[in-house]
Structure 1
Amino acid sequence: MIVRGATRCCLRLRPTLARPTSRFSPQSCRRYSMPSGPMPTVNPTSSAGMLAPFVNELDKIAPSFKISGSQIHIIQSPIDFYETLKARIRTAKERIFLSTLYIGKSEKELIATIEDALRANPELKLSILTDALRGTREAPEPSCASLLAPLVTEFGSDRVEIRMYHTPNLTGLRKKHIPKRINEGWGLQHMKLYGVDDEIILSGANLSNDYFTNRQDRYHLFSSSEVTNYFWDLYQGVMSLSFLVQPAKDEPSGFRLHWPSTNTAPNPLERSTEFISKATPFIHNLIAPKEKSEKGSLPSGDTTVYMLGQLSQLMKPDTSTELPVMTHILKTLAAPEYTGSSWTFTAGYFNPAPSLTNLLLSTASQDNVVITASPYANGFYKSKGVSGLLPDAYTLLARRFLRTIKERKQDSAVVLKEWRRGTVNEPGGWTYHAKGLWITLPNEKDPSISIIGSSNYTKRSYSHDLEAGALIVTQDPGLKKRLGDEQKWLQEYASPVTLDDFAKTERRVGLKVRIAMWIVSVVGGAL
């Protein structure tokens, strides 16, 4: 297990599994509620004044760090993401920690890069967290788990630790009888955290060939020990609530899943209620806002990064931070002072939680854009079985969204765009998986606010999956321009669609769409 030492700059790494501890005091744990009363007035001539109503309440919802905008690098393409990740791994000095839904079972080059780094540096430690359902789906045939287990064999459990999180929502007869392709709908480890030493990439991308070549996502590299160490703490917390992957020559699959007695909670497959009971205060402490010290000067920086965690299935009551942050931002944007602002919202699988749809359409902003995948850029396009119905389901949801816009007479304020670059599974065809939010304040050219992370912003994201991300609030002109460029290049292959487009024969959905809609409600948006 990889554990952090007394200081952020020097990592103390030891072979035994250590139970992670929170950096946050119990006194800092409190459930956030939206403030009542009128919104604070803002100074329309000051960028800081326009941002103040956002950040004043955000500090009560989520922990944050002040950094320089120059510490955030925005990566544009899947290939650049892959090359950046490999480059960081090759030069890693102390730790590599990767949290993803899954690593593609054929990702030999990525594994070879990791192996080379471990061989070159005996002090380097590796930790990987994936989802148990997705990571073992193909077993005993080759799977994510069988790909990773040999790393433990070669480098030892003192240097390599592989964990797989299993939802407490799928146990007993339900787990036994529900098909593997569908059972993931009961909850997944969905955080995408790619940390190397004191840098981390936040993304929505998984670690497989399509995400490295022709599946467009978003990727932000944070060169900040504070941001990286925060997510390292959260990562360790989920690790201590996950199964340990052990090599097993006597098993047909080549591995076994073991629940260490040192874990924070009991086995979720055996004692799911107690698992959640133990996990609730533990995770709550990790994601609650940190008390600000009254002594000394406040950290300097032109950019504040708020740490977002949506881990609803682990907490009763749920004190996750992403949905409250989104809610606060959009409610604040509805104030008359923000007339003239604009937002861009994107989700590859267009199925936003109803509360978010209402909030987006209730803002005072103008010239707003929603970007989603065209059916021809949907990862489920022409896939086998019932999942092939999913593009039709998302088509219906998009059409309903346009109808809502029309009913509210907001046709001139909101544009829906579909992203398409060729056709899935054809030469040159790409899929679209990006998600996020950008907000540009009145009288400004580029966004000052953006959200990056793993969440698909669906009802499921806010109830079943483990999500992590960050809210960026910046006054740095360079970072604002980079955020503006990002939202522009994501629209290079996006075209507006109208209700008339959905009325065309090829866009009509058949009777099977009801089945597809049910699939979306259960498993949609999980990739």
Structure 2
Amino acid sequence: MLATITTDLDKIAPRFEVQSDQIEILRTPSEFYETLKDKISKAQSRIYLSTLYIGKTEHELISTIRTALQQNPNLHVSFLTDALRGTRETPAASSASLLAPLISEFGPDRVEIRMFHTPNLTGLRKKLVPKRINEGWGLQHMKLYGVDDEIIMSGANLSTDYFTNRQDRYHLFRSKELADYFSKIHNGVCDLSFKVSPGSSEAGYAMTWPASNQAPSPLASPSDFKKSASKHLSHLLTPSNSPPASSTPTATTVYPILSLVPLLSTSTELPALTNILQSLSREPLHPSSWTFTAGYFNMTPSFRRLLLNTHPASGTVLTAHPHANGFFGSKGVSGMLPDAYTHLAKMFLRRVRYEGLSDSVQLREWKKGRVDEEGGWTYHAKGLWVTFPSVSPSSSSPSTEPKSQEDPSLTVIGSSNYTKRSYELDLEANVIIATSDPALRKRLGEEVKWLGEYAKPVDEKEFEKPDRKVSMSVRLSMWIVRVLGGAL
């Protein structure tokens, strides 16, 4: 049954064959942080970190990188963050001002700092949209944490909450071929990004567009920037980037799938996911079981249709309770986001009922305390796990009886939130893991279970409670953002 999907994926994205013990699934924010620091401290040749932002007070992380650079003169470090998010606090402390001193200390040949700027927010629109919400028009959202011949794929950014009390997913791949591939992606976007260097201004840094970049500045000519970016990046996403096949087939394959729209006219994430979900609606993969999770509940209507059209034996959608939403209690417009996601969750359950799937599809909300109180956590995990129908020993036909004890054979992990932003505005990087290895399948099953430990089922009645009612102002704000070309 796995071949039903991988045969099609081979035509969409590069294929990397790995052994199951080359993949380690990390469980907690602190384990992610300690593993990342440990890998950095032992780095020999390269560190590349693609993230939305690095917290402006992450001095311990920067100190770990500084020590690694001091101990190994052959080490090169490259940072890629988002220009809007990484400079938002300027002239106060920001990601840019935190990182710039590393160049003063070790030189531009050993430390590179790049910040990607979306071509969708320029001119008058950029002047009018408040900094707090301007990320709704596009971001560098990839989370690639590469050190030598290993890479951590995650949805987590590099800041204190992601290291302590914001639950995400984290998969460590010990594969030189995979680390090399994502290094090319990282470097390719760096060649299309602003360069940060130390500066004498109050901000503490300078941001320039190097003449050596592979495109004109997105602020000077958005259309020409997109054309050049497409020529520079598109070849990196094709199956031709697959390394030579192993002489002995492995039980596990990894497919990098990316969404680099608006830079490319087409990307590989949405076609790959569409293919998977359509396959789940047909034999021999029907009826499968799946768990889908997104901390920010705003899947596109088309993705929702694909998900529900699978008519699963059992389907679970796991998302954050408003009290576990990173925007809960925020000031201004962003403080409306938890209510906006509540409204969208209610609409999802209404659609489930309309499709006659209430007995097989459930929505669960994750909550571990309140984010605005001591000990409260937020939820930021995203991805998909699929368990295929079991095959009866006495028959070659899949059993229609769902068996909850069976473990996933496929998962998707990465930065994508499966939203309009993910498919039209942001840069996203993910991988599909397809495996028949029992040990890895068991670990994927355990991952689903521990992520669901703090989740409870909710139904439509939950959203009729007074404290879950969504005001008209929130709905109006959602409409305004869409009219202006942005997305939640």
Post-superposition shift, 1:170? 1.5
Post-superposition shift, 1:122? 1.1
**What corresponds to 1:492 in structure 2?**
453
Post-superposition shift, 1:301? 1.7
Give the aligned CA root-mean-square deviation in angstroms.
1.5
**What corresponds to 1:279 in structure 2?**
229
Q: Secondary structure at the match of 1:61?
A: coil
- Taking structure 1 as the reference length, the TM-score comes to 0.87
| Cα pair 1:393 1:520 within 8 Å, conserved | no
Q: 1:397 aligns with which of 302, 322, 344?
A: 344
What are the equivalent positions in structure 2 for 1:97-136 lying under 5 Å apart? 97-136=48-87
Q: What is the rounded CA distance, in whole Å, between the counterparts of 1:365 and 1:229 in structure 2? A: 37
Deviations 1:249-272 (CA, angstroms, capped at 9, x unpaired):
1x1101111111111111111121
| Cα pair 2:294 2:380 within 8 Å, conserved | yes
Residues 141 and 58 (structure 1), Cα distance of their counterparts in 2 relative to 1, 3 Å cut = same
| Cα pair 2:39 2:147 within 8 Å, conserved | yes
**What corresponds to 1:506 in structure 2?**
467
| Cα pair 1:67 1:300 within 8 Å, conserved | no
| Cα pair 2:145 2:152 within 8 Å, conserved | yes
**What corresponds to 1:254 in structure 2?**
204
Post-superposition shift, 1:61? 0.7
Q: What is the rounded CA distance, in whole Å, between the counterparts of 1:247 and 1:71 in structure 2? A: 39
Deviations 1:103-140 (CA, angstroms, capped at 9, x unpaired):
00001111111111111111111110000000000111
What are the equivalent positions in structure 2 for 1:147-162 lying under 5 Å apart? 147-162=98-113
For structure 1, the 5+ residue unaligned runs are: 1-49
Residues 297 and 427 (structure 1), Cα distance of their counterparts in 2 relative to 1, 3 Å cut = closer
Q: What is the rounded CA distance, in whole Å, between the counterparts of 1:130 and 1:363 in structure 2? A: 36
**What corresponds to 1:308 in structure 2?**
257
Q: What is the rounded CA distance, in whole Å, between the counterparts of 1:523 and 1:214 in structure 2? A: 29
Deviations 1:202-241 (CA, angstroms, capped at 9, x unpaired):
0000000000000000000000011111100111100000
Q: What is the rounded CA distance, in whole Å, between the counterparts of 1:416 and 1:448 in structure 2? A: 22
**What corresponds to 1:22 in structure 2?**
none
The residue identity in structure 1 corresponding to 2:424 is S
Post-superposition shift, 1:517? 2.3
Post-superposition shift, 1:291? 6.8
The residue identity in structure 2 corresponding to 1:390 is L
Post-superposition shift, 1:296? 8.2
State yes or no: 1:464 paired with 2:413: no
Deviations 1:132-170 (CA, angstroms, capped at 9, x unpaired):
000000111111100000000001111100000011111
Which is worse superposed, 297-306 or 504-513?
Answer: 297-306
Residues 442 and 246 (structure 1), Cα distance of their counterparts in 2 relative to 1, 3 Å cut = same
Post-superposition shift, 1:340? 3.9
State yes or no: 1:91 paired with 2:52: no
**What corresponds to 1:32 in structure 2?**
none
Deviations 1:308-354 (CA, angstroms, capped at 9, x unpaired):
11001112xx2200000110000000003223420000000000011
The residue identity in structure 2 corresponding to 1:450 is T
Post-superposition shift, 1:68? 0.6
**What corresponds to 2:156 in structure 1?**
205
**What corresponds to 1:27 in structure 2?**
none
For structure 2, the 5+ residue unaligned runs are: 391-402
Post-superposition shift, 1:298? 4.8
The residue identity in structure 1 corresponding to 2:128 is H
| Cα pair 2:2 2:436 within 8 Å, conserved | no
Aligned residues: 472
**What corresponds to 1:412 in structure 2?**
359
| Cα pair 2:262 2:424 within 8 Å, conserved | yes
Post-superposition shift, 1:184? 1.6
Which is worse superposed, 508-517 or 490-499?
Answer: 508-517
Q: What is the rounded CA distance, in whole Å, between the counterparts of 2:245 and 2:366 in structure 1? A: 49
Deviations 1:421-459 (CA, angstroms, capped at 9, x unpaired):
000120110000000000001127100000000000001
Deviations 1:68-111 (CA, angstroms, capped at 9, x unpaired):
11111000000000000000000001111000000000011111
| Cα pair 2:15 2:242 within 8 Å, conserved | no
Q: What is the rounded CA distance, in whole Å, between the counterparts of 1:467 and 1:62 in structure 2? A: 14
What are the equivalent positions in structure 2 for 1:38-437 lying under 5 Å apart? 50-249=1-200, 251-290=201-240, 298=247, 300-315=249-264, 318-437=265-384
Residues 296 and 386 (structure 1), Cα distance of their counterparts in 2 relative to 1, 3 Å cut = closer
Q: What is the rounded CA distance, in whole Å, between the counterparts of 2:304 and 2:8 in structure 1? A: 22
- Report sequence identity in percent: 58
Q: Secondary structure at the match of 2:431?
A: strand
Residues 512 and 57 (structure 1), Cα distance of their counterparts in 2 relative to 1, 3 Å cut = same
